[in-house]
């Protein structure tokens, strides 16, 4: 482990290390959100709405984060989320994330827009592999991607449904950032300010999105930067097309990007295997309900009939515990692990996973919950309690998911 990574004791430290290492345009691409970044901030602040109420005098000497996630064993209740273009920050960052996930015994989700090929991940980082497919206008290409994942023995397909068009990410406007890179005086100076990063890119070439080779170019000028991520996506994708995916994909199907209970109910009847409550990390539609606050409504919609995971804003092991206490089966880790990978490759990705795992175990011990199944709603108190909370905390676990939705701030119930 490099000295820089060894001195990182939190995800915030890894984020700071990534910021020092990367050109501003590249760091902002990973770090930023859409428009005013209200949803980006809201995802994080949603965790502050809940306080932990630890049990005491519980034997936690043998505490373990081992659990079942999507029907198979996992070392902790988490999976690595799909994070596109990671290789632009650090070459082979996708592999670094996949290896760290495999070492922890948790799933890794490869993005369609990764800079490492589907087959390369399967060959060099064997473990629990999920493949995330964006829905493309080029339908033949879309089905070819899915078939490649099936042949490479990925256990689950993740369909992202909250991205019919790309969001307006204004940091990218200001930084003249696009994929593929379009060099301008502004970003050339920015890239040159990080010589170690720049020399690697000059000598070895800019990475490409390996799984999208041959599809089409993205942005062509600065005014198209913010929407470039969505240029190839199909805004006509609908319930009928998703049903076709369900029919043609023979393994686990996960739908990512859900924030409404009525959509969750319909997905249950369609026969998907899991739902991820997500607003794309605040990168697309600004002003949407934070993922953690949308979780109770989605849980109510599923009625406990399939697993629900949540992503967005997770930076601490205690955040994972809060998500589980609110009813999620697990979480997806996006920026938290990405910061580690783009800061220091394999060492950084592993450090991020280790930090979160250590913090989760520490939280479990300090809360008197030696197993994942004992992380329940009675460990939580709202930051602004009301008279309904004592009865809610005493309710059976299955009933809490329904009651928690009613406990939410009224203006957020139907965003």
Rounded CA-CA distance 282/167 in Å is: 9
Helix 335-366 × helix 317-325 angle, to 10°: 70
Of 176, 280, 357, 401, the catalytic one is 280
CA dihedral 109, 110, 111, 112 (to 10 degrees): -130
Q: How far is CA 28 from the centre of its chain?
A: 17
d(CA 108, CA 125): 10
- Longest distance between any two alpha carbons in the chain, whole Å: 64
Token pair for residue 332?
A: 């997806």
230-257 in b/e form (b: 16+ CB < 10 A) is bbbbbeebeeeebeebbeebeebbbbbb
Answer for the pair 325, 371: CB distance below 8 angstroms, yes or no: no
> How many angstroms separate the Cα of 344 from the Cα of each of 1, 103, 287?
9, 17, 33
Q: How many CA atoms lie within 13 A of 8 on its CB side?
A: 31
Six-digit token pair at 43?
């995802």
Find tokens 């005098």 and name the residue: 57
Q: How far apart are CA 320 and CA 328, in angstroms?
A: 9
% helix, strand, coil for the chain, step of 5: 50, 10, 40
Active site residue 280: yes
Place of tokens 């490492």: 116
Which residues in 170-304 belong to E strands, given as ranges?
A: 252-258, 274-277
Gap between the Cα atoms of 292 and 49, Å rounded: 10
Residues marked active site are found at 280
């Amino acid at each position: 482990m490099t000295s820089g990574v060894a001195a990182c004791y939190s995800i915030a430290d890894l984020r700071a290390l990534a910021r020092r290492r990367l050109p501003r345009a590249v760091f902002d691409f990973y770090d930023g959100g859409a428009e005013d970044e209200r949803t980006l901030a809201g995802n994080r602040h949603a965790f502050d709405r809940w306080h932990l109420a630890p049990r005491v005098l519980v034997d936690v000497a043998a505490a373990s984060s081992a659990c079942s996630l999507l029907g198979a064993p996992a070392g902790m209740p988490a999976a690595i989320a799909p994070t596109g273009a990671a290789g632009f920050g650090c070459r082979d960052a996708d592999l670094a994330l996949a290896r760290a996930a495999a070492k922890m015994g948790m799933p890794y989700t490869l993005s369609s827009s990764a800079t490492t090929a589907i087959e390369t991940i399967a060959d060099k980082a064997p473990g629990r592999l999920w493949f995330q497919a964006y829905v493309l206008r080029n339908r033949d290409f879309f089905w070819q991607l899915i078939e490649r994942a099936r042949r490479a023995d990925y256990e689950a397909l993740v369909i992202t449904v909250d991205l019919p068009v790309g969001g307006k990410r204004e940091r990218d406007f200001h930084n003249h950032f696009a994929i593929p890179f379009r060099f301008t005086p502004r970003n050339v100076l920015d890239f040159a300010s990080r010589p170690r990063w720049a020399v690697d890119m000059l000598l070895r070439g800019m990475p490409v999105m390996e799984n999208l080779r041959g599809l089409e170019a993205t942005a062509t000028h600065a005014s198209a930067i913010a929407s470039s991520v969505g240029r190839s996506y199909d805004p006509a994708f609908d319930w009928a097309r998703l049903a076709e995916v369900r029919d043609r994909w023979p393994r686990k199907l996960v739908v990512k990007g859900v924030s409404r209970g009525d959509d969750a109910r319909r997905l249950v009847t369609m026969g998907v295997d899991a739902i991820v409550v997500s607003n794309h990390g605040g990168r697309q539609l600004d002003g949407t309900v934070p993922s953690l606050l949308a979780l109770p409504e989605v849980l109510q919609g599923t009625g406990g009939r399939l697993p629900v995971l949540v992503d967005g804003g997770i930076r601490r092991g205690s955040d994972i515990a809060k998500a589980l206490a609110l009813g999620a089966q697990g979480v997806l880790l996006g920026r938290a692990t990405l910061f580690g990978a783009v800061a220091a490759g394999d060492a950084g990705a592993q450090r991020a996973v280790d930090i979160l795992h250590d913090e989760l175990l520490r939280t479990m011990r300090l809360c008197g919950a030696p197993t994942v199944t004992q992380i329940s709603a009675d460990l939580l108190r709202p930051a602004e309690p009301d008279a309904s909370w004592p009865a809610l905390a005493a309710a059976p676990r299955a009933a809490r998911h329904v009651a928690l939705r009613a406990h939410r701030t009224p203006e957020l119930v139907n965003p």
